[in-house]
């Protein structure tokens, strides 16, 4: 795989899945990653993570990109689509298979029930027509990293996750493999995303090590909760943000990032608001655990929760 050196010391990205319209949580990730990239004088890319065909909503990718444009968040390079990058993922998988770090697995979900779905050794008694490919996770695979917002993290991947899937039984590329290959191939130096992906990070670091790829820096933004205090899933389309009325949603995301609301109060259009945001943004104010209720964000009543 060719891994071009980044043209700048900082290259971030926003990588949504087209499983619905842009919602408050994804806008927070988009705006937060954009602000951190701009603050560092770096580049900001957008990648459409459309490898999970069964969960994809027709038209969602186009609507998400249109929404980003309406919010004034324009990527510095051409948007890439994971659905067009299968050859890159196949090459990485072939390397892992050839080195014995990945293996074909015929185990069914039911057969792994006794170990709560955690795979450490194959238990299949018969081959299946649609086997998966998994990463062979060493017993000693304990991954530690320092998240720029959430602080020191540690996961015993062997015990807590087990041998994880790289190529799914339904013939889709697994999220973990596609993300790791793309972040390296695109020269991403800084991964900024929602804290719901914090526990995926050790798997991605393990895959980077297996493939000999550089480890980017990580910053996981606070989660956004819905009106009932539950976290929004990536596929939750219940609270889409309104691209036709971008200022309230940008103000809500700004407040959820721990930034002072008054800094944006005078801005009456998107370019003015983004310029003010760039001037007043301070990454040290981003809270680790707080989250803003979506309902509150929509009414510009910025209630943050510890
Ligand atoms: Zn197996």
Question: How confident is the model over 223-243, as pLDDT tens digits?
Answer: 876 666 666 554 443 578 999
- Give 277: exposed, middle or buried? Use CB within 10 Å, 0-12, 13-18, 19+: buried
**Binding residue numbers for ATP:** 234
Grouping H, G, I as helix, E, B as strand and the rest as coil, residue 52 is: coil
Residues 230 and 249 in one domain: yes
Residue 163 in any domain: the answer is: yes
Residues 193 and 294 in one domain: yes
Ligand 1 mean position, distance from CA 163 (Å): 8
Ligand 1 mean position, distance from CA 109 (Å): 10
Alpha carbon 136 to its chain centroid, in Å, reads 23
Residues 90 and 79 in one domain: no
Residues 170 and 217 in one domain: no
Ligand 1 mean position, distance from CA 171 (Å): 16
Residue 203 clears pLDDT 90, i.e. is over it: yes
Residues 61-73, mean pLDDT to the nearest whole number: 98
Last residue of a domain, one of 159, 176, 193: 176
**Smallest Cα–Cα separation from 295: which of 246, 215, 241?**
241
**pLDDT of 232:** 58
**pLDDT of 191:** 98
Grouping H, G, I as helix, E, B as strand and the rest as coil, residue 19 is: coil
Residues 148 and 212 in one domain: no
Residues 150 and 186 in one domain: no
Residue 250 in any domain: the answer is: yes
Q: What is the mean pLDDT of the chain?
A: 89
CATH number at residue 129: 3.90.800.10
**pLDDT of 289:** 75
Ligand 1 mean position, distance from CA 107 (Å): 4
Cα end-to-end span (Å), the chain: 43
Residues 205 and 268 in one domain: yes
Residues 59 and 74 in one domain: yes
**Smallest Cα–Cα separation from 301: which of 240, 242, 251, 236?**
251
Residue, of 284 and 297, whose pLDDT is higher: 284
Residues 108 and 225 in one domain: no
Residues 139 and 158 in one domain: yes
**Binding residue numbers:** 13-17, 49, 175, 193, 234
Counts for the chain of helices (H) and strands (E), in that order: 9, 12
**pLDDT of 250:** 95
Neighbours of ion ligand 1 (CB under 5 A): 105, 107, 122
**pLDDT of 16:** 96
Residue 290 in any domain: the answer is: yes
Residue 160 clears pLDDT 70, i.e. is over it: yes
**Smallest Cα–Cα separation from 137: which of 155, 111, 152, 124?**
155
Residue 3 neighbours by CB distance under 10 Å: 13
Interior/surface letters 127-138, b for 16+ CB within 10 angstroms, e for the rest: eeeeebbbbbbe
Residue 264 clears pLDDT 60, i.e. is over it: yes
Cα–Cα distance for residue pair 50/14, rounded to 1 Å: 13
Ligand 1 mean position, distance from CA 138 (Å): 15
Ligand 1 mean position, distance from CA 212 (Å): 25
**pLDDT of 228:** 65
**pLDDT of 226:** 61
Residue 3 in any domain: the answer is: no
State residue 159 phi and psi, 5-degree precision: -80, -35
Residue 113 clears pLDDT 60, i.e. is over it: yes
CATH number at residue 247: 3.40.50.620
Residues 262-287, mean pLDDT to the nearest whole number: 97
Q: Which string of DSSP letters, residue by residue, matches 232-260?
A: PPTT--SSB--TTSHHHHHHHHHHHTT--
Ligand 1 mean position, distance from CA 83 (Å): 26
Residue 136 clears pLDDT 80, i.e. is over it: yes
Residue 5 in any domain: the answer is: no
Last residue of a domain, one of 176, 194, 210: 176
Residues 187 and 294 in one domain: yes
Ligand 1 mean position, distance from CA 116 (Å): 14
**Binding residue numbers for L-glutamate:** 13-17, 49, 175, 193
Ligand 1 mean position, distance from CA 105 (Å): 4
Residue 41 clears pLDDT 60, i.e. is over it: yes
297 — pLDDT class (breaks 50, 70, 90): very low
Ligand 1 mean position, distance from CA 122 (Å): 3
Residues 135 and 156 in one domain: yes
Cα–Cα distance for residue pair 290/301, rounded to 1 Å: 15
- Provide the domain limits for residue 231: 11-83+182-299
Residue 109 clears pLDDT 90, i.e. is over it: no
Ligand 1 mean position, distance from CA 234 (Å): 28
Question: How confident is the model over 140-157, as pLDDT tens digits?
Answer: 999 999 999 999 999 999
Ligand 1 mean position, distance from CA 178 (Å): 21
Ligand 1 mean position, distance from CA 211 (Å): 21
Number of domains in the chain: 2
Residue 1 in any domain: the answer is: no
Mutual orientation of helices 24-39 and 270-280 as an angle, nearest 10°?
A: 60
Ligand 1 mean position, distance from CA 184 (Å): 28
99 — pLDDT class (breaks 50, 70, 90): very high
Q: Is residue 221 within 8 Å of 28, Cβ to Cβ?
A: yes
Last residue of a domain, one of 176, 209, 234: 176
**pLDDT of 230:** 64
Residue 93 in any domain: the answer is: yes
- The residues, any chain, with a CB within 8 Å of residue 154's CB and separated by 6 or more, are 142, 143, 144
Query: Which tokens belong to 8?
Result: 């700048």
Grouping H, G, I as helix, E, B as strand and the rest as coil, residue 165 is: strand
Residues 76-96, mean pLDDT to the nearest whole number: 98
Residue 261 in any domain: the answer is: yes
Taking the model in full, what pTM does it have?
A: 0.89
**pLDDT of 7:** 52
């Amino acid at each position: 795989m060719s891994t071009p050196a980044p043209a700048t010391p900082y290259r971030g990205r926003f990588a949504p899945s087209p499983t619905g319209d842009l919602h408050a949580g994804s806008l927070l990730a988009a705006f937060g990653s954009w602000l951190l990239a701009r603050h560092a004088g770096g580049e900001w890319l957008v990648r459409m993570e459309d490898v999970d065909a069964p969960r994809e909503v027709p038209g969602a990718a186009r609507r998400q990109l249109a929404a980003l444009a309406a919010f004034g968040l324009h990527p510095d390079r051409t948007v890439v689509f994971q659905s067009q990058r299968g050859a890159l993922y196949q090459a990485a998988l072939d390397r892992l298979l050839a080195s014995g770090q990945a293996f074909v697995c015929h185990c069914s979900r039911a057969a792994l029930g006794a170990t709560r779905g955690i795979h450490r050794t194959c238990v299949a008694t018969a081959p299946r027509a649609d086997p998966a490919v998994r990463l062979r996770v060493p017993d000693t695979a304990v991954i530690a990293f320092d998240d720029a917002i959430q602080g020191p993290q540690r996961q015993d991947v062997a015990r807590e996750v087990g041998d994880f899937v790289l190529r799914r039984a339904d013939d889709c590329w697994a999220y973990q493999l596609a993300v790791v290959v793309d972040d390296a191939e695109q020269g991403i130096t800084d991964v900024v995303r929602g804290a719901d992906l914090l526990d995926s990070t050790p798997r991605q670091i393990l895959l980077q090590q297996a493939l000999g790829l550089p480890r980017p820096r990580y910053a996981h933004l606070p989660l956004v909760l819905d009106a009932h205090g539950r976290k929004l899933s990536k596929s939750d389309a219940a609270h889409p943000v309104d691209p036709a009325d971008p200022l309230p949603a940008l103000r809500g995301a700004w407040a959820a990032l721990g930034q002072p609301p008054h800094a944006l109060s005078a801005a009456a259009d998107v370019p003015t608001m983004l310029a003010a945001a760039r001037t007043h943004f301070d990454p040290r104010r981003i809270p680790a655990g707080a989250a803003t209720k979506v309902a509150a964000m929509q009414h510009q009543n910025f209630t943050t929760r510890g």
